[in-house]
Amino acid sequence: MGDRQILFAWFERGAITDVGAALGVAQVLPGAREWRAFLDRLLLWSGVMALAAAVVFFVAHNWSYLGRYAKFGLVELFVLAAVIAYWGFDPERAAGKASLLLASILLGALLALFGQTYQTGADTWELFATWAALMLPWVLVGRFAGLWMLWIATANVAIVLYFLVFPGLFGMLFSTERQLWTLFAFNTVALAGWELGARHFAWLDERWGPRLLALAGGATIALLMLQAIFEWREASGAAPLAYLAWLGCAYAAYRVRVRDLFVLAGGCLSIIVVVSALLVKGLLETRADAGGFLLIALAVIAMAAASGWWLKRVAAEVRA
Amino acid sequence: MNLPRAEELWSKLASAGLTVGGVPDATEAHTPWYVRAMLGIAGFLAAGFLLGFVGVGFAFVMKSHTASLSVGFMVIVAAYGVFRMAPRNDFSSMFGLAVSFAGQALVAFGILGFFERHLTGATPWVVLGAIEATLAVVMPNFIHRVVAAFGSGFAFAYACEISGVRGVETGGLAAVVAFAWLQEMRLGKFHALVAPIGYGLTLAFIEVEGSSAFRHSMAPLFEVRQASAAYPWIGEALVAAALLASVWVLLRRAGRQARDARTILALIAAAVVGAASFRAPGVAGGLMVVLLGFGNGNRVLVGLGIAALLVYVSGYYYVLDATLLAKSGVLAATGAVLLAVRRVVLKFVTPQEGASA
């Protein structure tokens, strides 16, 4: 598929006579085998996700005509069926992994039903934390990147909800900062773990996972940096150091060690936003004049152009 | 692309008798989508500061709709000149992008304000859509074309929405998206134009399809004028028709004959998915984008379609005109339909022996 753009570019220049045939020769277009494998997975995953959402919606409706035992029985039956399906199918095949993912989502629905029925007084963050804890054994045996990502996402939600319930002694401001630090630390550790794990386990060696985690970690440290710029009196001074350290590590990991353009592009965008924020703070905070706006606009354009130029050069190396 | 890879590809094409002349230069052809997305976001950021510059330094422009419109058009023309003068220069491309975005914001501000006093209804949005469509064709910049095509699709959809033909816009956009991607190879000589416009319209389709069900369910709460209840059905019917047409063209491309039982079965399967989409909006549209992407060997399009499907399921939770119990039933039925279609497709449409042939 990576040859697509080049073939169209050659066709536009008149270097090849039939782009459709060229795409076929270069095996850019799928054949019968690829179509079969693709439709198998597409319909399997979309069907399973629709069924999982159906159970979640059902629990959320809290249907009064169905007694509590019937509801529990129904959801537990679904969980059991999904687990049995996992054992029944080959666990290494897509159908097995889809069944385990379904069971993990249904486990969350079951916990939500428990909280809804018995009104235990537990906070919402506890639901997600318990879900993540109970799901963990399945995640460990599943050998499946998608399931790990579900677990990480559930833990992220638990962290966010925890800090909404426990804002701390100093109210929402410090709560937001602690929340962001915790999310940053968790996602960065998860990223490092994923990258290390990918060296040993082939099933973890998919770039979308580390990219999502790098996006989450990079976004939270950039938000902390923005907070440090605009609310520097209240914010701790650790954010600039951590931000620079994160950029340095990202450069070392994704430019020097492996080349991942996605993370580098995210890093460039983060630098553009942070430098713009510094300029806004320095030039516009006391007096918003036209020259300040123009200068910042030109700085953003220059930084973006330089980033684009650099990233294209790295892209050429990545393909080399 | 590196030289050995380009030469290898070229020799394959030459063996098939598809080449003219020697190996062309291939180094500047590929920019990943996320680099373009990063540049686009930076362009919007810079445009925001440029608007601040105009707003503070030339306040009269913001106070007069006519001035805003005139300055906006002048700025867009200047951006066009910048693109034309140095198309390969990164700084000038970025500058042109930011300047044009700022100009478009001024034009939109001027048009919406101008028409507010003279004409109401869908007219300003039709005018905005036409301007954006023109810019998508004229401006020689990939990111600009994507954004302008998105703006055009969105403006026309909104014009349909407020003129009362609610739901039809999704069907119209689905048809245009299907046409653009299915004709991508036939229009290969204009790929620099067709591809970004295709992406922009696909993004607009995903956005409009994703929000139309929610907006329709909210309408009785906020609007006096009620659109016909049939319109969302017409919209989904058009989306389902676009899905069917896409499946048909992809089957033909794979060499399947119209009277082949497997072709008929595949079309019936697509029709069943389309029918499911009447109660679970977005399923047919999302699957159509995914199929078009895979059929064209375009992973970005496949990713967009999958992301759209996830967004539709999440958004469906908040649709107000059905209870969660009803939605649960619809999703359960849709899931069952998708798994049944999978069974039919694997057993009869693309059986193992056919696949390995």
Q: Tens of pLDDT along B193-220?
A: 999 999 999 999 999 888 776 666 555 5
Cβ neighbours of A315 in B, within 8 Å = 30-32, 35
- Cβ separation of B31 and A43 shorter than 8 Å? no
Rounded to a whole number of angstroms, the distance from the CA of B351 to the nearest CA of chain A is: 8
Q: Is the pLDDT of residue A2 over 80?
A: no
Tell me which of B116 and A278 has the higher pLDDT.
Answer: A278
Task: Give yes or no for A182 touching B (CB within 8 A).
Answer: no
Q: What is the pLDDT of residue B355?
A: 47
Q: What is the pLDDT of residue B277?
A: 77
Among A33, A43, A260, A312, the strongest candidate for a mutation testing the B interface, having the largest count of B CBs within 10 A, is A43
Cβ neighbours of B298 in A, within 8 Å = 1, 4
Average pLDDT over residues A224-231: 92
Task: Give yes or no for A308 touching B (CB within 8 A).
Answer: yes
Q: What is the pLDDT of residue B164?
A: 76
Q: What is the pLDDT of residue B27?
A: 53
Spell out the residues 6+ positions from residue A192 whose beta carbon is closer than 8 angstroms to its own: none
Q: What is the pLDDT of residue B81?
A: 95
- How sure is the predictor about B63, in pLDDT bands with cuts at 50, 70 and 90? confident
Could you say which of A5, A7, A38 has the minimum Cβ distance to residue B294? Answer: A38
Could you say which of A30, A49, A51 has the minimum Cβ distance to residue B332? Answer: A51
Average pLDDT over residues A284-313: 92
Q: Say if CB B318 and CB B214 are below 8 A apart.
A: yes
- Cβ separation of A55 and B21 shorter than 8 Å? no
- Cβ separation of A36 and B299 shorter than 8 Å? no
- How sure is the predictor about B120, in pLDDT bands with cuts at 50, 70 and 90? low
For CA atoms A235, A237, A242, A244, give the dihedral sign: positive
Task: Give yes or no for A208 touching B (CB within 8 A).
Answer: no
- Cβ separation of B52 and A33 shorter than 8 Å? no
Smallest CA–CA distance from B291 into chain A, residue: A39
- Cβ separation of B355 and A32 shorter than 8 Å? yes
Rounded to a whole number of angstroms, the distance from the CA of B167 to the nearest CA of chain A is: 23
Task: Give yes or no for A88 touching B (CB within 8 A).
Answer: no
Q: Tens of pLDDT along B221-239?
A: 555 455 555 566 788 889 9
Average pLDDT, chain A: 90
Cβ neighbours of A9 in B, within 8 Å = 26, 29, 191
Q: Say how many CB pairs under 8 Å bridge A and B.
A: 268
Q: Tens of pLDDT along A38-68?
A: 999 999 998 999 999 999 888 888 778 888 8
Q: What is the pLDDT of residue B224?
A: 43
Rounded to a whole number of angstroms, the distance from the CA of B42 to the nearest CA of chain A is: 6
Smallest CA–CA distance from A317 into chain B, residue: B2
Among B1, B3, B7, B18, the strongest candidate for a mutation testing the A interface, having the largest count of A CBs within 10 A, is B18
ipTM score for this prediction:
0.87
